Amino acid sequence: MIENLVVGAGVAGCVIANRLAQKNKQVLIVEKRNKIGGQAHDSYNKKNVLVHDYGPHIFHTDSEEVFKLLSEYTDWILYNHEVLGFIDNNFVPIPFNINSIAKLFPSEKGNKYIKNLISYFNYGEKITIWDLKNSSNEILKELAEYIYNKVFYNYTLKQWDCSPEQLDREVTSKVPVNISKDNRYFFDKYQMIPAEGYTTMFRKMIEMDNISLLLNTDFKDILSIKNGDFKLYETIRVKNIFYTAPIDYFFDFEFGKLPYRSLKFKHETYSRKYYQQNAVINYPNNYDFTRVTEFKHITKQKTPFTTIAKEYPQKCNLEDGDIPYYPIPKRDNREIYYKYSAKVKRMKNFYPVGRLAQYEYLNMTQAIENALKTVAKL
Ligand code: FDA
């Protein structure tokens, strides 16, 4: 018998396997790809530049527990993420803040906006674009229109292929408007990058005698479910399944497909020290790509070459091998998801965890916290 099968060797899968193995449990991980780390996977390219294969990943958490756990398997590089947006021919801080206003408007107009912002809200507050749009102050409404059109509207069209109003409001609210001069993107207590990269950190996490890893294997090729029992290769009983792959796929899309957005990355390598001034620059209103990432700013790697990634949002067709990047947060989709989760509640020994199994945009620390909670519940 296999006591614990973990489907997926991404962030959640590796943490679950590690925690179970620490409790002296036997674990088999089955992973569809030929590599571990899931979306956080990183690797060295031909010019020896460390790149994040599935988009920039910055680790940030307020959780002492998560930070301590990962620190057992990595040293850290301190890194404060700051993002710029190319707006009206200027590079300005995103999330939009007082510095962005000062850069974009002539001083008299800018000062009027700043004065009204500070008197209507509190200095240091993070508000949503919806708070600003709904304010009763006419000057702030005018500013809200500008920010909405220049920062959110076109970016959302490119990213999600619909307007901000057609998505759950939380999506747009994830990027606040900051009533301060603090240019940081994240405000968590811990903000850092694994010194030798994410893949190395996760490899160390699952390099344990009681963890086996099967790569290049879709779990459906080896797992069968009959009368509620899980079996590998039709004969070996599996007790618990910790499932981090798409939830609709597990149930053969019984209640319909859960839609995703996908991305394509175009990597370019240059023989120069740096390409741009920041790790990430957003282009809401220009070009087909949404943003350009330069990895060396994040990894602090010292090499004569630098690699950038231009990020192009795409439709996601799983049958064509597209990678599901973002669950699409809309009511209809959530209703489909609830049908799957109701079915899961009636099952025994089946634990869906992570962004694909929970059909939710989770950052890494949230995926890890969910993984820890699941193991703790056993
Ligand atoms: P993840 O997708 O990583 O792992 C699932 C694993 O299951 C994959 O390895 C997959 O191959 C495998 N699998 C799928 N189907 C299977 C099957 N049928 N059989 C076997 N295996 C299967 N977060 C953050 O904290 N900071 C950041 O800066 C970013 N940046 C970022 C950028 C972009 C572009 C995206 C899309 C996301 C981020 N994130 C992030 C979020 C981060 O990627 C996310 O939190 C983790 O990937 C979640 O880990 P999971 O293990 O849940 O999924």
- Give tens-digit pLDDT for 79-105: 999 999 999 999 999 999 999 999 999
Q: What percent of the chain has pLDDT over 90?
A: 94
Report which DSSP code applies to 82.
B
Q: Which residue among 41, 57, 171, 187 is best mutated to probe the pocket of ligand 1, counting the most ligand atoms within 8 A of its Cβ?
A: 57
Residue identifier of the C-alpha nearest atom 8 of ligand 1: 38
**Distance (Å, rounded) from C-alpha 132 to C-alpha 11?**
36
**Distance (Å, rounded) from C-alpha 280 to C-alpha 294?**
6
pLDDT tens-digit readout, 212-243:
999 999 999 999 988 888 999 888 999 999 99
Domain with CATH 3.40.50.720 in the chain: 2-81+192-259+317-376
The helix/strand/coil state of 172 is: helix
Question: What pLDDT does 38 receive?
Answer: 98
**Distance (Å, rounded) from C-alpha 35 to C-alpha 82?**
29
The two structure tokens encoding residue 14? 């590796």
Question: What pLDDT does 318 receive?
Answer: 86
Number of the ligand 1 atom closest to the C-alpha atom of 57:
28
Q: What percent of the chain has pLDDT over 70?
A: 100
Residue 71 reports pLDDT greater than 90: yes
Question: What pLDDT does 170 receive?
Answer: 86
Report which DSSP code applies to 2.
E
**CATH classification number, 2-81+192-259+317-376, choose in 3.40.50.720, 3.40.1190.20, 2.60.40.420, 1.10.3720.10:** 3.40.50.720
| Cβ neighbours of 257 (radius 10 Å) | 15
**Distance (Å, rounded) from C-alpha 9 to C-alpha 213?**
8
Please give the ipTM for the structure prediction.
0.99
**Distance (Å, rounded) from C-alpha 85 to C-alpha 284?**
7
Instruction: Specify the pTM.
Output: 0.96
Cα of 162 from ligand 1 centre, angstroms: 23
Number of the ligand 1 atom closest to the C-alpha atom of 355:
52
Banded model confidence at residue 25, pLDDT cuts 50, 70, 90? very high
For residue 228, what are the CA distances in angstroms to 224, 241, 254, 377?
10, 12, 16, 21
Give the binding-site residues of ligand 1, using a 6 Å CB cut-off.
7-13, 30-33, 38-40, 55-59, 218-219, 244-245, 249, 263, 325-326, 354-356, 362-365, 367
The two structure tokens encoding residue 244? 């981090």
Nearest-5° Cα angle at 170, 310 to 312: 15
Contacts of 103 (CB under 8 A, 6+ apart): 90, 92
For residue 141, what are the CA distances in angstroms to 117, 144, 154, 284, 330?
10, 5, 19, 21, 26
Pairing relationship of beta strands 223-226 and 229-232 according to DSSP bridges: antiparallel
**Distance (Å, rounded) from C-alpha 113 to C-alpha 103?**
12
Question: What pLDDT does 228 receive?
Answer: 80
Max intra-chain CA distance, the chain: 76
